[in-house]
Amino acid sequence: MSLFDHLKLIEDPRSYINLEHNLVDIIFLVLAATASGCHGWLRVGSYFVNSMELISISMI
């Protein structure tokens, strides 16, 4: 099984109101940010914003 297959097995406890982003995507980005040396939610958030900018640029 791949990492994504394992992450998909995690039950999402959020209410329907908070489902703007896929739980697997959130967990993966937190893992990637942590592996990249980010410590704390502020840096993880910055990593997420920068990653989304790179992803949107590469999709153009």
Going from the C-alpha of 16 to that of each of 13, 20, 26, 30, 43, the distances in angstroms are 9, 9, 16, 21, 27
The set of long-range contacts for 52-60, using a CB threshold of 8 Å and a minimum separation of 24, is none
Looking at the whole model, is its pTM more than 0.85? no
pLDDT, residue 55, reads 64
pLDDT per residue as tens digits for the range 1-48: 898 899 899 999 989 887 887 888 888 888 989 999 999 999 998 988
